[in-house]
């Protein structure tokens, strides 16, 4: 942070000094060596431009330059993993980008942070699993749990959010492992409007938390909910749930809003019954 502050101060001072030098030379041209002052002024301007280019290149390298670290094909599909810029100094997270292409055309992407003790990402940090409707990329890091990200190949795919969003909704019913809800307080989420009814499908590792704090972790491959969550959490219609979701499906044309969320947590936060529209 201090380094960037000094760079900003330097960039502000240089043009101010150049302008003051130019004005001084114009007002006192009879008393000074004009040619020498002009040479100095041009030299400082050239130095300033070189520094600007160098600093711009440095900022691009540190913050924005994508470096491909992994590429894998599956038929017409190809997944590419990039490190974007450099990890935050000294031990901060790094930025990565995953892109899914079909016949060379990008069809889905995901930007994420990797907590890896300040180290650069490498191919061994990413585990690729091809699925019927896309690809699952599991990201490893020394300072984080394994995090799966899904990129979809079909047009009606789920979009992943850069940051999870939260809303309050009334419980309607369980449908297998999925939870049907109706939004009663959109809060600050930008996806589901007030009154929207949709299904929450838990992502691998997602949580269901009862009012008494009872917690269940969703593991699809382990069939944790093979008996159905409704038998574990007997929630009544209208109970208020706090839904934390990290992705959503496209709009449902008939209903006029997105009809499915990828939930990372469903928590019963209230037992006040609110009329469900």
Domain boundary among the residues 112, 128, 152 is at: 152
* pLDDT at residue 64, as a whole number: 82
* pLDDT at residue 275, as a whole number: 46
Do residues 230 and 174 touch, judged by C-beta distance below 8 A?
Answer: yes
Distances (CA, A) of 148 to 101, 151, 163, 178, 205: 19, 10, 14, 19, 9
Would you say the C-alpha torsion 117, 118, 119, 125 has a positive or negative sign? positive
> Is position 232 within any domain?
yes
* pLDDT at residue 19, as a whole number: 72
Domain boundaries, position 56: 2-64
Q: Are residues 180 and 255 in the same domain?
A: yes
Q: Which of 54-58, 133-137, 150-154, 170-174 has the highest mean pLDDT?
A: 170-174
Q: Are residues 36 and 129 in the same domain?
A: no
Close Cβ partners of 256 (under 8 Å, ≥ 6 residues apart): none
Q: Which of 27-31, 37-41, 178-182, 224-228 has the highest mean pLDDT?
A: 178-182
Query: 2-27 vs 34-59: helix axis angle to the nearest 10?
Result: 160
* pLDDT at residue 21, as a whole number: 67
**Per-residue pLDDT tens over the stretch 205-232:** 788 888 878 788 776 655 455 445 555 6
**Per-residue pLDDT tens over the stretch 65-83:** 899 999 999 888 999 999 9
How many folded domains does the chain comprise?
Answer: 3
Check residues 117 and 261 and name the one with the higher pLDDT: 117
Q: Are residues 84 and 95 in the same domain?
A: yes
The pLDDT of residue 193 is above 80: yes
Distance CA 187, CA 125 (A): 35
Q: Burial of 33 by CB count in 10 Å (0-12 exposed, 13-18 middle, 19+ buried)?
A: exposed
Average pLDDT of the residues in 121-143: 88
């Amino acid at each position: 942070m201090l380094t960037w502050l000094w760079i900003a101060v330097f960039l502000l001072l240089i043009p101010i000094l150049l302008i003051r030098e130019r004005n001084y030379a114009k007002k006192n041209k009879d008393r000074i060596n004009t040619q020498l002052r002009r040479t100095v002024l041009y030299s400082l301007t050239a130095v300033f431009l070189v520094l600007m280019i160098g600093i711009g290149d440095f900022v691009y390298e540190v913050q924005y330059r994508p470096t491909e670290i992994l590429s894998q094909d599956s038929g017409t599909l190809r997944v590419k993993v990039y490190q974007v810029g450099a990890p935050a100094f000294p031990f901060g997270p790094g930025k990565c980008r995953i892109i899914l292409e079909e016949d060379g055309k990008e069809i889905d992407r995901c930007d994420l942070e990797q907590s890896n003790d300040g180290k650069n990402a490498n191919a061994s940090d990413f585990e690729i699993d091809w699925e019927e409707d896309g690809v699952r990329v599991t990201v490893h890091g020394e300072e984080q749990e394994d995090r799966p990200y899904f990129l979809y190949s079909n047009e009606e795919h789920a979009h992943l959010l850069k940051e999870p969003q939260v809303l309050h909704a009334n419980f309607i019913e369980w449908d297998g492992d999925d939870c049907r809800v109706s939004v009663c307080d959109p809060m600050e989420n930008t996806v589901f409007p007030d009154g929207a009814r949709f299904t929450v499908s838990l992502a691998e590792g997602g949580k269901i938390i009862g009012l008494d704090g009872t917690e269940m972790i969703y593991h699809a491959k382990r069939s944790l909910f093979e008996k159905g969550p409704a038998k574990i959490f007997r929630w009544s219609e209208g109970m208020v749930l706090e839904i934390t979701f990290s992705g959503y499906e496209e709009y449902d044309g008939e209903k006029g809003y997105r009809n499915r969320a990828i939930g990372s947590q469903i928590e019963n936060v209230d037992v006040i019954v609110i009329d469900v529209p």
